[in-house]
Amino acid sequence: MALDLRLQQKMVQQLVMTPQLQQAIKLLQLSHLEMADVLQAELEQNPVLEEPADGGDDPPTEGGVTTAETEAAAESDGLMGLGSTPEADSPSPSDPAPADPVSTDPAEQAQIATDISVVLTDAPAGSTPEPSSTEVDREIDWEAYLETYSYSLPASAGSRGDEELPPFEANLTKATSLHDHLRWQVQMGDFSSEESRIAAMLIEEISDDGYLSKDAANLVAEELDVSVDEVELVIRDLQGFDPTGVAARDLRECLLLQVKHLTHENPLVVTIIDKHLHHVERRNLNAIARELKVTVEEVGEAVKLISQLEPRPGRIFNDREPQYITPDIYVYKVGDDYAIVLNEDGLPKLRISNYYRNALSRSGGNAKSFIQDKLRSAVWLIRSIHMRQRTIYRVMESILKFQRDFFDKGSTALKPLILKDVAEDVGMHESTISRVTTNKYVHTPQGIYELKYFFNSSINRVNGDSIASESVRNHIEKLIAEESAAAPLSDQQIVEHLKKQNIDIARRTVAKYREMLRIPSSSKRKKLF
């Protein structure tokens, strides 16, 4: 078949997303911290944007920004329609194409000037955001600077004059890891160069919990071209390091290493760890007593000692930084009602620099096109931010309306809710609601929750009503927390308790929710001492 090139016309419908629409969607799904990073990057990349002095907002002057004016300007450009209905996400084929970013049409320039005056705040009178030509051309007198410059080391601890200084140890930026601790002990130990080389390789094979893989000796021996016996000797030395139990191949070996370091080694404890750990896991103390021909009380005392050992010796050297959550929204209870406040702490306040506003009227050619492009980008960015904040507020307002009982009574009063319910309530598309509720947290009187937390599937009640699945999990967690340690509730008993609370649920569903809560089975929760 011959291949040739030809031109033909055809009419098709397709989704076309302008760069401005893509930017608005991207900002909509960012969390508070991500939003702060994006705005800071825009400040650095777009010279037209600037942040007011002292990080505060200047009083609005004539032509200053207000929320009503911003929304009106955004709606006139079709921006606020983003996600308002399913049809809004698909622009009509008759929609005009985006304007040429370097157009010099007078009508377009007038529209840009109008947008700036409506959306953005004016710079304070007399401000000079950009350095003057005199300041730029002026050279620094480096000789005078070096003559007046001085530097002195701070004291290591204590005080320097009346100023208290922290010790150098307080300025450490990284905690000592398990591997660093083991390397330091190798350096302080009596190891030959070959043994140090083997030890360094073995330390790299130790997990964060302090365990060696079972085939670590063979792998290291093959890698360093030494015998397995030499590696085993070094492993034995590592097992004498701090923390006790490190470099073990399994739980049994780890616990035995710790028992050997006790002041009074108990033979019964060693025997139970060596041969009956599976019974200890199931709390089957009678079987251990029967096989070892001792009393259950003696076995109980031995198991109590075993429970005090550390199954993960490397845990104390966990150097992972805690992840702090910054809420995007605050919900406060004021009397009998609730107030929604958006968290804008740390977000830079953006406005157009007066320098570039004036330069636009004086420039021409490529310089004017560049400033126009940056001005247009800045206007769309600020409008997208206003749209994002208003959309988040409306979605939170709808969630508050549906989940009012949760805010009043707690998680057990959570109701079934899906994205479609909120989308229909606020008049937006489900995809928009999904973006708004992703990676965003709200601070409530009941605690800090992700917005996704309020959306749950339903579980039927005995009388035909429904209850949120998250609420059922909270009921299960509460029942287990209040159970007797000597006689924990089985999954079937939990089903019966929930039926008394008018919740119809299957036993396998209880088991699934219990595993999601990381709660072990009743046999593993049982305590006889």
The answer to whether residues 280 and 359 belong to one domain is no
The answer to whether residues 109 and 39 belong to one domain is yes
Q: How much of the chain exceeds pLDDT 70, in percent?
A: 75
What's the pLDDT score for residue 528? Answer: 66
Assess whether pLDDT exceeds 90 at residue 398: yes
Better-scored residue on pLDDT, 184 or 118: 184
Closest C-alpha to 210, from 255, 263, 275: 255
The answer to whether residues 391 and 493 belong to one domain is no
Assess whether pLDDT exceeds 80 at residue 196: yes
Q: How confident is the model at residue 403 (pLDDT cuts 50, 70, 90)?
A: very high
Last residue of a domain, one of 263, 298, 317: 317
Listed in sequence order, the residues at least 6 apart from 486 whose beta carbon sits closer than 8 Å to its beta carbon are: 526, 527, 528
Last residue of a domain, one of 280, 301, 317: 317
Strand partners, 329: 342, 442
The answer to whether residues 393 and 343 belong to one domain is yes
The answer to whether residues 336 and 308 belong to one domain is no
Q: Are 418 and 367 in contact (CB under 8 A)?
A: no
What's the pLDDT score for residue 127? Answer: 35
pLDDT in tens, 103-117: 444 454 444 344 334
Q: Are 383 and 70 in contact (CB under 8 A)?
A: yes
Assess whether pLDDT exceeds 50 at residue 362: yes
The answer to whether residues 186 and 309 belong to one domain is yes
What's the pLDDT score for residue 407? Answer: 92
DSSP assignment of 290-321 equals HHHT--HHHHHHHHHHHHTS-S-GGGGG--PP
User: Which range (16-20, 52-56, 272-276, 413-417) has the least confidence?
Assistant: 52-56
Better-scored residue on pLDDT, 500 or 1: 500
Helices (H), 87-158: 106-119, 133-137, 142-148
What's the pLDDT score for residue 159? Answer: 45
What's the pLDDT score for residue 200? Answer: 94
Q: Does 169 fall in a domain? A: no
Q: How confident is the model at residue 144 (pLDDT cuts 50, 70, 90)?
A: low
Tell me, what CATH number does 501's domain have?
Answer: 1.10.10.60
> Of the spans 119-123, 259-263, 277-281, which averages the highest pLDDT?
277-281
Helices (H), 53-124: 67-76, 106-119
The answer to whether residues 266 and 214 belong to one domain is yes
Lookup: tokens for 15: 């989704």
Angle in degrees, CA 438, 439, 445, rounded to 5:
105
Distance (Å) of CA 29 to CA 24, 32, 33, 395, 406: 9, 10, 12, 13, 25
Listed in sequence order, the residues at least 6 apart from 33 whose beta carbon sits closer than 8 Å to its beta carbon are: 326, 346
State the residue range of the domain holding 487: 458-525
The answer to whether residues 305 and 223 belong to one domain is yes
Domain count across the chain: 3
What's the pLDDT score for residue 4? Answer: 76
